[in-house]
């Protein structure tokens, strides 16, 4: 189920269930995992995109292995806050995913997350090659951490 508000994740995911962040791109899907208390997001893995069913087989295996109870998918809104082609593509990805497995899914505004993460990695003097290897999963952690911080605020 695609949730209307990220706060609904609190009720939809049982205690101890992790959240997984996804940065969905055309060539890769960056993944990040929360701890069981849903405080810290950690970059986890990058899935090289192939066919949707193959991507989902890998994703669902990771969800089972790591006790994931819900997903936070980065939504690449335009700078004006509207939908563009990438936004529509990510929304369709989320709909296709929940059609295969009914998981609570929250869409989280990820405007400029990859640019922010890349800027931080450049400041940390990571090589171009190393940045390319990890940028997607670090962006997923940035997205997930933003949602975790939001959920941790008092109601």
pLDDT at 155 over 90: no
Residue 31 falls within a domain, yes or no? yes
- 89 in the Ramachandran plot: left (φ > 0), alpha (ψ -120 to 50) or beta? alpha
Residue 114 lies in a domain: yes
118 or 69, higher pLDDT: 69
Question: Which of 108, 136, 106 lies closest to 121 in space, CA to CA?
Answer: 136
Residue 138, pLDDT > 70, answer: yes
Q: Is the pLDDT of residue 110 over 90?
A: no
Residue 82's domain is classified under what CATH number?
A: 3.30.420.140
In a domain, 65, yes or no: yes
Residue 82 lies in a domain: yes
Domain span at residue 21?
Answer: 8-152
**Can you give the pTM of this predicted structure?**
0.90
Q: Is residue 47 part of a domain?
A: yes
Q: Is the pLDDT of residue 92 over 80?
A: yes
Look at 27-41, 87-101, 106-120 and tell me which has the smallest mean pLDDT.
106-120
Q: How far apart are CA 90 and CA 44, in angstroms?
A: 20
3-class SS of residue 126: coil
Q: Is 1 a member of any domain?
A: no
């Amino acid at each position: 189920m695609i949730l209307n508000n990220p706060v609904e994740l609190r009720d939809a995911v049982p205690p101890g269930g992790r959240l997984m962040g996804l940065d969905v791109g055309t060539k890769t899907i960056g993944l990040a995992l929360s701890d069981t208390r849903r405080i810290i997001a950690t970059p986890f893995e990058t899935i090289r995109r192939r066919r949707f069913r193959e991507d989902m087989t890998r994703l669902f295996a990771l969800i089972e292995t790591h006790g994931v109870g819900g997903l936070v998918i980065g939504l690449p809104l335009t700078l004006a806050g509207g939908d563009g082609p990438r936004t529509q593509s990510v929304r369709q990805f989320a709909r296709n995913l929940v059609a295969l497995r009914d998981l609570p899914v929250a869409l989280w505004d990820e405007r400029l997350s990859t640019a922010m993460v890349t800027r931080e990695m450049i400041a940390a003097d990571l090589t171009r090659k190393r940045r390319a290897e990890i940028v997607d999963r670090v962006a997923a952690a940035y997205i997930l951490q933003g949602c975790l911080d939001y959920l941790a605020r008092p109601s």
